[in-house]
């Protein structure tokens, strides 16, 4: 292995070990390394840092925190799968609900959450159990894309629900336009989720651990030319997946609250007359 690359790897390895733990690529975005330092790991190997000092690298292994995370994911799977399946079944059994615009929104939200339950959670659990990646490069790109897509979609559909409620309160009589607008928003939610998740299939790839023979991982190590680009991509993903939807949802319900408050005040004034 090239000495400069080894030094670069070691530097990023130890910088990320504290935050990423013993498992790499756990976020639906951003950069991961091959794993962290684990007392339960295997394959102790000697290496030297950039100063020529001997260091010891431990192949990633299971820790108590890993087991705890797996248990939590399994509990979340049961809750998410059971709850959202019951919602979908109820909606499809009711002919009246199937025609409702609100039911359409709820159905898409339930489908998005079911994708999280049946795609993202099993992936996370399986990846933590095996520690390394065994499924090959194509599966690495597909699964990492799907993991991000599920989370983006769930956030986007929540935004659609909040905006639909906001428009329903502001324009209560525009029923026909509301249904068309709802379908357009849902289509946009799926499209935006697809576009935002697509970079995952590009930046993630299977790589061989530079210090542990036979240990492969689905990582983004070495993709970004500079740390600044890595930070910018991570920041974009956090904003697009969490903060921007939160701001839109908060704004929509603030408008709803203000509108209801104003109407209540107007009714009170009219009653006083």
Q: Are residues 93 and 212 in the same domain?
A: yes
Cα 230 to chain centroid distance, Å, stands at 17
Per the CB < 8 A criterion, the answer to whether 30 and 239 are in contact is no
Q: Are residues 135 and 266 in the same domain?
A: yes
Per the CB < 8 A criterion, the answer to whether 159 and 249 are in contact is yes
Q: Are residues 94 and 170 in the same domain?
A: yes
Distance CA(260)–CA(202), nearest Å, equals: 46
* Angle, helices 101-115/175-203, rounded to nearest 10 degrees: 10
SS3 assignment, position 105: helix
Distance CA(174)–CA(167), nearest Å, equals: 9
The predicted pLDDT at position 69 comes to: 86
Q: What are the backbone angles phi and psi of residue 22, rounded to the nearest 5°?
A: -100, 20
Burial class (CB in 10 A: 0-12, 13-18, 19+), 22: buried
Local structure of residue 263 (DSSP, 8 states): H
Q: Are residues 40 and 101 in the same domain?
A: no
Q: What are the backbone angles phi and psi of residue 125, rounded to the nearest 5°?
A: -65, -50
Q: Are residues 34 and 163 in the same domain?
A: no
The predicted pLDDT at position 28 comes to: 34
CATH code for the domain in which residue 256 is found: 1.20.1070.10
Q: Are residues 126 and 207 in the same domain?
A: yes
Nearest of 119, 110, 92, 114 to residue 161 by alpha carbon = 110
The predicted pLDDT at position 158 comes to: 94
The predicted pLDDT at position 98 comes to: 62
| Residue after which a domain boundary falls, among 59, 76, 96 | 59
Q: Are residues 70 and 42 in the same domain?
A: no
Distance CA(110)–CA(221), nearest Å, equals: 34
Q: Are residues 107 and 135 in the same domain?
A: yes
The predicted pLDDT at position 6 comes to: 42
Per the CB < 8 A criterion, the answer to whether 60 and 33 are in contact is no
Count of domains for the chain: 2
Q: Are residues 84 and 218 in the same domain?
A: yes
Q: Are residues 166 and 187 in the same domain?
A: yes
Phi-psi region of 30 (alpha: psi -120 to 50; beta: other; left: phi over 0): left
Per the CB < 8 A criterion, the answer to whether 60 and 41 are in contact is yes
| Residue after which a domain boundary falls, among 44, 59, 74 | 59
Q: What is the pLDDT along the chain (273 residues), one digit of tens a residue?
A: 444 444 444 444 434 433 333 333 333 333 333 443 333 344 444 444 445 555 555 555 666 777 888 899 999 999 999 999 998 888 888 766 666 778 888 899 899 999 989 988 888 888 888 877 888 889 889 988 998 999 999 999 999 999 999 988 888 777 777 888 888 999 999 999 999 999 999 988 888 877 677 778 888 877 888 888 888 999 999 999 999 999 999 999 999 999 888 888 877 777 765
Phi-psi region of 128 (alpha: psi -120 to 50; beta: other; left: phi over 0): alpha
For the question of whether the overall pTM of this predicted structure is more than 0.85, the answer is: no
The predicted pLDDT at position 255 comes to: 93
| Residue after which a domain boundary falls, among 11, 31, 59 | 59
Burial class (CB in 10 A: 0-12, 13-18, 19+), 240: buried
For the four alpha carbons of 137, 204, 12 and 126, in that order, the dihedral sign comes to negative
Domain limits for position 38? 3-59
Distance CA(171)–CA(124), nearest Å, equals: 43
Q: Are residues 229 and 124 in the same domain?
A: yes
Q: Are residues 38 and 96 in the same domain?
A: no
């Amino acid at each position: 292995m090239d000495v400069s690359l080894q030094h670069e790897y070691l530097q990023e390895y130890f910088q990320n070990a504290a935050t990423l733990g013993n498992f790499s690529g756990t976020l639906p975005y951003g950069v991961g390394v091959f794993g962290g330092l684990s007392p339960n790991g295997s394959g102790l190997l000697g290496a030297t840092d950039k100063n020529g000092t001997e260091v010891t690298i431990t192949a990633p292994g299971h820790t108590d925190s890993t087991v705890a995370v797996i248990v939590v994911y399994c509990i979340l799977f049961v809750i998410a799968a059971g709850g959202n399946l019951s919602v979908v079944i109820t909606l499809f059994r009711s002919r009246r609900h199937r025609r409702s615009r609100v039911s359409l929104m709820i159905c898409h939200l339930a489908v998005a959450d079911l994708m999280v339950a049946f795609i993202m959670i099993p992936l996370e659990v399986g990846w933590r159990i095996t520690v390394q990646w065994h499924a090959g490069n194509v599966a690495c790109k597909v699964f990492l894309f799907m993991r991000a897509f599920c989370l983006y979609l769930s956030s986007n559909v929540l935004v659609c629900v909040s905006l639909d409620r906001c428009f329903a309160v502001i324009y209560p009589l525009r029923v026909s336009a509301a249904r068309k607008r709802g379908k357009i928003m849902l289509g946009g939610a799926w499209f935006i989720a697809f576009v935002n998740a697509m970079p995952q299939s590009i930046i993630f790839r299977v790589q061989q651990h530079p210090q542990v023979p036979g240990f492969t991982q689905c990582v983004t190590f070495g993709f970004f030319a500079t740390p600044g680009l890595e930070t910018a991509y991570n920041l974009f993903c956090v904003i697009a997946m969490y903060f921007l939807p939160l701001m839109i949802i908060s704004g929509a319900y603030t408008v709803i609250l203000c509108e209801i408050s104003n109407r209540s005040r107007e009714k009170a004034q009219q009653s006083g007359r």
